[in-house]
Structure 1
Amino acid sequence: MTALAGGSWSAVVLGGGDPGDPFAARHGVKVKPLIPLRGEPMAAHVLRALRGSGRVARVAYVGPTTPELDALVDLRVTDHGTLLSNLEAGVEALRVAGLKPGERVLVVTADIPMLRAQQLCDVLDSAPDAALVYPVVTRKACEAAYPGVKRTYVRVRDGTFTGGNLFLLDPALISQFLPRLREVLDARKTPWKLARLIGPGVLVSLLTGRLSVDKLEQKVSQVLGVPARALITPHAAVGTDVDKEEDLTLAEAHLPEA
């Protein structure tokens, strides 16, 4: 299973959100990805990176749009209320539109406006062949790119990382791992439930920083029932989303001049 050459990737962009989000409301918009940044919706910067990469042939956008966004997407999908439901709806829209055999799908959140086209190319070109690929960024790379940035990090034996806001998946296997992924997400704030899913020994090793990336990949693959791999990327923009005013200020400062 490999991605097809050239602009053969299809993408799902997750642009939904809580309609009661106070961050979005303060900026007079329905959901966070529509917050203006340099005079256009935040999501437009993400979509332009996808289009500029030359790798993405088709984009399904899940969530409310504007005329600026409509010009950058191929398929508009109604917000289904949760991240996983939106993911499933976006992939299904691509499937109906005609995914090619062996084609993998890029999934991106619409709140990483500092992502650049070349950075996306680097991620896609270096991605291992697996049903699920999740990029991670080292704390060192994040703090070097954006001094003072505040992220949530996890320490493992190989280093300290933050998770990316995009991932790659095999759409043919989504029905296999999505139910288990829902279980993991539902259990993430309840230690005994999480321990039951991933094993108490693995959980203790993770919490104490003694778990290696390789062992974590093996356990995630076992839990989800499909091959899963981490991809360490040097591009801090992949793991830097906009959740609050200080993040918006950071993005404003680091976007290139038009």
Structure 2
Amino acid sequence: MTTPITAILLAGSRPTPDPLAVAAGVAIKPLAPVAGEPMINHPARALLVHPAVGQVIILTQSSAPFAADPATAWLTTHPQVRFEQSGAGIASSLLALLERGDVPFPILLTTADHVLLDSAMLDQFTQEAAGADIAVAMVERRILLARYPGSRRTWLKFRDGWWSGANIFWFGSDRARSIIAMWQEVEQDRKKGWKIVSAFGPVALIGTLLRLLTLRGGIARIGRRFGLTARLVAMEKAEACIDADKPDDVVLIERIVAARG
């Protein structure tokens, strides 16, 4: 029997006010409306209806804003949903959660602004990540631009193309803690990619700077450095890397949702 997946949905707020939340007049970004309802409802429903997911943990500073909003109050009473308090950073919050011992592996982590998350993405990711200690979902630029040529993302260049993150991560076993601990150490430098890469050793750093590594090979190499299996999941759907981060993203997402019917 397949072990149910624990889904962690990041729904916290940053110290500085989020522009989408401010524009919508809501307390925190996950409550900002997208396609007619708070953005968090979209990925939460996608996770809850997926047969591989056993429970959804919403990691946030407080459940109070969700309980107070009639459109999200259902999350606070759903039998498969529990709220946990986040700390100063994602990695430190995740490690604190794992220390308690009541969060079973495998774990799938995603974000409240992943409005377009759907069953097809979850099917592909969970099937390809299964058996790995860690896995990360990415979208290659050609996949996105073929469908949405006007969409603007942040791209990382490797020998096998230009890649953008899809905000879906897999922690398949307790061995993933070493990577999460490293993530915690460099979390404050998350906008400085070379510092993060350099933490994984000179071969990875030089390979990235000189574009010698494929992304798939680079992730596997990092895994071997930590004695675990690390895997890239190259997402087939362009929508996997479109999150509700800016007003332009929301316009595009709402157009996609409307087309889905």
Segment drifting more, 71-80 vs 147-156? 71-80
Which of 7, 12, 21 aligns to 2:8? It is 12
Contact 1:14–1:62, Cα closer than 8 Å, also in 2: yes
Q: For residues 81 and 145 of structure 1, do their structure 2 counterparts lie closer, same or farther at Cα, with a shift above 3 Å needed?
A: farther
Moved more, 20-29 or 161-170: 20-29
Q: In the alignment, which of 116, 119, 131 is matched to residue 118 of structure 2? A: 116
Partner secondary structure for residue 198 of structure 1: coil
Q: 1:90 to 1:236 in 2, by over 3 A?
A: farther
Query: Which deviates more, 20-29 or 186-195?
Result: 186-195
How far apart, CA to CA, are the structure 1 residues paired with 2:25 and 2:202? 45
| Alpha-carbon distance in structure 1 between the residues aligned to 2:161 and 2:218 | 13
1:148-200 superposed Cα distances (whole Å, 9 cap, x missing partner): 11111112111221112011103523432222122343445568855752344
Pick one of 206, 210, 213 that aligns with 2:212: 210
What CA distance in whole angstroms lies between the structure 2 residues aligned with 1:160 and 1:230? 14
Check conservation: 2:198, 2:205, Cα contact below 8 A: no
Residue segments in structure 2 that go unaligned for 5+ positions in a row? 67-71
Distance 2:115 2:210 in 1: 33
What SS is found at the alignment partner of 2:136? strand
Q: Give 1:70's aligned residue.
A: 76
For the structure 1 residues 116 and 92, does the alpha-carbon distance in structure 2 shift closer, same or farther, using more than 3 Å as the test? farther
Partner of 2:180: 178
- Note if 1:40 corresponds to 2:46: no
For 2:83, give the aligned amino acid: R
Sort the Cα spacing of 1:39 and 1:92 in 2 relative to 1 into closer, same or farther, 3 A: farther
Cα pair distance change 1:39/1:70, threshold 3 Å: farther
Aligned residue type for 1:151:
R
In the TM superposition, residue 13 of structure 1 has moved relative to its aligned partner by 0.5
Shift of 1:249: 0.9
The alpha-carbon deviation at position 203 of structure 1 amounts to 2.2
Aligned-residue RMSD, C-alpha: 2.6
SS in 2 for 1:162: strand
- CA shift for structure 1 position 139: 0.6
> Secondary structure at the residue paired with 2:199?
helix
Q: How many residues align?
A: 249
Corresponding residue number in structure 2 for 1:151? 153
Q: Deviations over 1:64-104 (max 9, x none)?
A: 423043355521112323222333355557x42x63xxx41
- Give the Å deviation of 1:212: 1.7
Does the aligned pair in 2 maintain the 1:53–1:118 contact within 8 Å? no
For residue 40 of structure 2, give the secondary structure of its aligned residue in structure 1: helix
Q: Name the TM-score, length of structure 1 as normaliser.
A: 0.84
Q: Unaligned 5+ residue runs, structure 1?
A: none
CA 1:169–1:25 in 2, change beyond 3 Å: closer, same or farther?
A: same
Q: How does 1:36-115 map to 2 (within 5 A)?
A: 36-63=33-60, 64=63, 65=66, 66-72=72-78, 74-91=81-98, 95-96=101-102, 99=104, 103-115=105-117
Counterpart code for 2:58: Y
TM-score by length of 2: 0.83
Supply the AA of the counterpart residue of 1:228: A
Indicate the SS of the match to 2:44: helix
Identity of aligned residues (%): 29
Residues 30 and 88 from structure 1, CA distance in 2 versus in 1: closer, same or farther, beyond 3 angstroms? farther
Say whether the 8 Å CA contact 2:121–2:235 is kept in structure 1.
no
Q: Judging changes above 3 Å, is the alpha-carbon distance between structure 1 residues 115 and 25 closer, same or farther for their aligned structure 2 residues?
A: same
Please, which of 174, 193, 199 is the counterpart of residue 197 of structure 1?
199
Residue by residue over 1:109-138, the C-alpha shift from the partner in whole angstroms, topping out at 9 and shown as x without a partner, is 111101112221121122252211111111
